Chain A
Amino acid sequence: MGKRVGIIGVGQTHHAAKRLDASGTELIAEAVSRALDDAQLTIKDIDAIVVGNMDHFENINYVDMWAVDGLGACMKPVFKVTTGGTTGTTVGACGYYHVASGLFDVVMAVGWEKNSESDTQAAISTCANPTLERDPFAGAIGPLATEYSMYMKAFGATEEDAAMVAARDRNNALRNPYAHSRQEVTVEDVLNSPMLSYPIKFLDMCPRSDGSCAVIFACEEKAKKLCPRPAWVHASVVRHDYTHFGDLEWKFMPTLERASAAAYKLAGITNPLKEFDVAELYLPASTCGVKWMDSLWFCEHGGAPALIRKGTFEMDGELPINPSGGVISTNPIGATALIRIGEGAWQIMGRAGERQVEGAKKALCTGFGGCSWSDVMILGADLP
């Protein structure tokens, strides 16, 4: 085990479909400045910076070079990491590893994306094997649609189950001033929205956003000194399994099962549904908000629809999921998973504003990327 690490500050931009007022560097500067303010630090207090975004998305690849002014990284150690959709949780994990190693005291993780500048679907398709799968299968929507089709057939889940998740997340976003898409929707609205790729409809799917997020990790001594209620990192686990799409297990999410099981063991969690107070999950489509609940050990395989139908994951339910509105409300991809960590940390720190889950002491945060990778971070109010 590494040394104890606490999150002491979080900043994010006001996310939007197109932030014409801000370049990528200006988005980064907005998030970094807000994180420093949140932690009441100056850039001089930051010992190292980890930054990441999606490969191929902005056609300018060395963010660790050209955004140094926005990052405040001049003459500091800077590390760029990029792992597809999980980039945000990976920069978070990397920030955590830096401090947990004992080599750095205060480290800032930054994720960002200017999705408005590129063709997201074309860029994301470059993740697929170019000589096998790019033509017949690649893209962000189709693979998620096929996995939910299989889950529906295997366990009797419905399009309405997914629509309930979509309505939950989208209505939660109404209480989040940073969210990109803030619209009141009903389950019927979701079911009646245009079909993208069966069974995923327009309101089931995440948007593409411009935005950035920064999270500051500190060693135990500094966290206690600088922050009245740090969000302590209880576990950080990453699992990858991709070779080809056809190799994947589609009825459940093996990487999420393995990553969460390992993280729960580290954090001493035996009954996740009861022990977590809040979860900020990277659910790129509402269908994942059904199927992947099985893989977080909230129930047996196939048990998720019953939990969703009785409101388990609503704001007033047993375990509120995505008080922020989640990924289907806000999706600056390189920042998306880091926003999960930042929102989870704010819940523990009591700084989540109107979307605060009262007295939240333990938060589950996840990232999803590639096909199909999972990152899990567990945050708590108590020392790990």
Chain B
Amino acid sequence: MSDWKNDVEIMVHEGKISVPYSWTVGSTLSRFYCELRDNGKIWANRCPKCGTTFVPPKIKCINCYEEPHDWVELPGTGTVETYTVVRYEEPSMHPRKAPFVYGVIKMDGADTGMVHFIDEVAPEDVKVGMRVEAVLEDEREGNILDIKHFRPIG
């Protein structure tokens, strides 16, 4: 029946299109990143109706669809809610050498968590509930890596 399939040379073609991208950060997140870059501050925004405070800031309140236009400065401290120790390397995704730690930090003054690296602590010493603070880069460019990582307080 399909005898020719036994003899055919199977081919694979390589793709050539490269599609470059840029992303408009938007008014809301641009404000967040400008505060971080220029003043070294982490800002959240708060829904005027239900009071939920979002960091990173949201375009619209997820509960009420109100514009969360009350802006609040956060102290930059928080509590580790959950984390993992990463033991493989994907240099195109994560700019760190394994082993490194990332997780979710519930920020003081906000109702949401931020995801980021946790460092200046041995991986085995990281604990859920640990109090941490943001460590900023000296030269900041207006992106999420302006926060170097979070480290234990004290």
Contacts and interface: CB of A to CB of B under 8 A. Distances in A.
Interface of A: 18-26, 29, 33, 36, 42-43, 56, 58-60, 68-70, 72, 74, 114, 116-119, 122-123, 125-126, 130-131, 134-135, 210
Contact of B17 (A19, A117, A126): A126
Counting chain A CB atoms within 10 Å of each CB, which of B21, B23, B27, B60 scores highest? B60
B62 A19 contact: no
B144 to A, nearest CB: 14
30 contacts: A23-B25, A23-B26, A23-B28, A23-B29, A23-B59, A24-B24, A24-B26, A25-B59, A26-B26, A26-B27, A26-B28, A26-B59, A42-B65, A59-B19, A68-B62, A69-B61, A72-B60, A72-B65, A74-B63, A114-B23, A114-B24, A116-B24, A117-B21, A122-B18, A126-B17, A126-B19, A130-B13, A130-B15, A135-B16, A210-B24
A20 B29 CA distance: 12
A329 to B, nearest CB: 22
Q: Which of A19, A23, A42, A119 has the most CB of B within 10 A?
A: A23
A117 B22 contact: yes
B41 interface: no
Contacts of A23: 23-29, 59
Interface residues of B, number: 24
Nearest to B68: A69
B58 interface: yes
A33 B67 CA distance: 10
B45 to A, nearest CB: 11
Given A58-B21, A69-B58, A72-B65, A25 B15 contact: no
A118 B19 contact: yes
B95 interface: no
Contact of B24 (A19, A42, A126): A19
Contacts of A59: 19, 21, 23
B20 interface: yes
A188 to B, nearest CB: 37
A22 B24 contact: yes
Contact of B60 (A22, A60, A70): A70
A309 B79 CA distance: 72
A20 B24 contact: yes
Given A23-B59, A42-B65, 13 more contacts: A22-B27, A23-B29, A26-B59, A29-B60, A69-B62, A117-B21, A118-B19, A119-B20, A122-B18, A122-B19, A126-B19, A131-B13, A210-B24
Contacts of A69: 58-62
A18 B63 CA distance: 30
A267 to B, nearest CB: 35
- Closest 4 A-B residue pairs measured CB to CB? A23-B26, A43-B65, A74-B62, A59-B21
A60 B28 contact: no
Contacts of A116: 24
